[in-house]
Structure 1
Amino acid sequence: MQIPERWSFLPFFSESLPGIEAALQEDTREILPPEEHRFAALMNTAPEQVRVVILGQDPYPTPGHAHGLSFSVEPDVRPLPRSLNNIYKEMVDDLGQAPVNGDLRHWANQGVLLLNTVLSVPAKEANGHKGLGWQTLSHQILDEVSKRPTAFVLWGNHAQALAKHIRPGDHLLIETAHPSPLSARKGFFGSRPFSRINDWLAARGESQINWITA
């Protein structure tokens, strides 16, 4: 796997990645996303560019969906995954519209780190690689980016459990239910995360995120 150069200082890449790579080489199942996309979130957003972190769990297990950014899918994917569809429903309520497809790379290009805590999954086996050790990377990333004020979006118990890796600071923490169909009506719908992030950025004198168009 190609190591994202701008994040290569993290200890994970020398201490943990070799063992993960060895385990992946021995796994005979189809692994998603394809290897060249596994670090896409970090390739798209350098440490100094991060303004917002949206924390996911593991990649979509459906072949053709995952491309290395949490909640994002390739632009031709229809229908949208149910969690992303609910994210867009909330965005329409919050901002009046949503993107035309599920490709969120234009968020990443504006400093939104779309970070999964596990970066690989066997096809059709959700959480199949949760024991490989990927989580160490997300812990180190949260510690690094929280050295300066950042907006953190923690949807659901899994993401909220990682809040302990965020350094104290002048951050925006959005902690609600997960957008999955099982929990979206328990506090995700109506939370207006997108306008809250933009209001926080504006109050800091920073440019707002264009959530809608690339």
Structure 2
Amino acid sequence: MHDWPGDLAPLAGGWGPVVGDFLASPAGQALDRQLRARLAAGATVYPPQPWRALALTPPERVKVVILGQDPYHGPGQATGLAFDVPPGVRTPPSLRNIFKELARSHGRPPATGAGLLEHWARQGVLLLNTSLTVEAGQAASHARLGWQTLTDAVLAHLAAHPAPRAYLLWGAHAQARAPRAQPGVPQLVLAANHPSPLSALRPPEPFIGCDHFRKADAFLVAQGQTPIDWLGEHMEDGPAQGAAA
């Protein structure tokens, strides 16, 4: 990332007001000062487009929320979508386990080539890291800059505009931000271990075998919504939209 805060135009009419309020807040101003200082000092900060998850999945389109932690800190890995990597980059272990669980639950492997997670995002899957930036080679280096204030504001905005949504919370970090139940608003909250190899098979809620993708689809269909094309079988057809017929 060379230009902070970068291009906010793609957020207009969507998450723009939430991001604008955050950047104007004391927490946002403090984060702004720290990021500018690190960039001025020559730090390499990833990803190039920190707002990408919010730009691809505006609030009115959100059907599923998946929370990550911080972006990948290796060169050329982070895309601005939680767990995603660009074309041609070796699949990280956590994403490999996500693909493994998809293959297990659906009986066939996903299209693991370029664009699968972007395909999810365009269908209404908000792939949001709780820290939107990280420094090269330093995991969780921006975890205390104040990004969680924005994450909480995003989740609060969704809560203030109730609609049927599924929340897939993988690991204690994501589960700490579980949404509160809202009377009369159908929502599905699923918890499992993080897909990291360190925890994916461990009790009490192993990620492998959690069946979250099928459960989320069953919930969406029950609410009259189109299920998510998790496997990417219709990527060439463009993003699915709207309610089921």
**TM-score range relative to shorter protein:** over 0.9
Contact 2:69-2:174 at 8 Å conserved across structures: yes
| Equivalent-residue separation in structure 2 for 1:138 and 1:166 (angstroms) | 15
| Equivalent-residue separation in structure 1 for 2:141 and 2:198 (angstroms) | 20
User: 1:125 maps to which residue?
Assistant: 138
TM-score, normalisation: structure 2? 0.82
Tell me, what secondary structure is at the counterpart of 2:177? Answer: helix
The percent of aligned pairs where both chains have the same amino acid is 41
| Equivalent-residue separation in structure 1 for 2:114 and 2:217 (angstroms) | 21
User: 2:109 maps to which residue?
Assistant: 97
User: 1:155 maps to which residue?
Assistant: 170
User: 2:95 maps to which residue?
Assistant: 84
Pairing partner for 2:37 from 26, 32, 38: 26
Counterpart of 1:89 in structure 2: which amino acid?
K
User: 1:170 maps to which residue?
Assistant: 186
1:61 corresponds to 2:69: no
Moved over 4 A (4+): none
1:9 corresponds to 2:24: no
User: 2:241 maps to which residue?
Assistant: none
Tell me, what secondary structure is at the counterpart of 1:114? Answer: strand
TM-score, normalisation: structure 1? 0.93
User: 2:157 maps to which residue?
Assistant: 144
| Per-residue Cα deviation, 1:59-109 (whole angstroms, up to 9, x for no partner) | 00111010100011102112x000000000000001122122264100000
| Equivalent-residue separation in structure 2 for 1:166 and 1:32 (angstroms) | 31
Tell me, what secondary structure is at the counterpart of 1:210? Answer: coil
Number of paired residues?
210
Larger Rg: 2
1:192 corresponds to 2:228: no
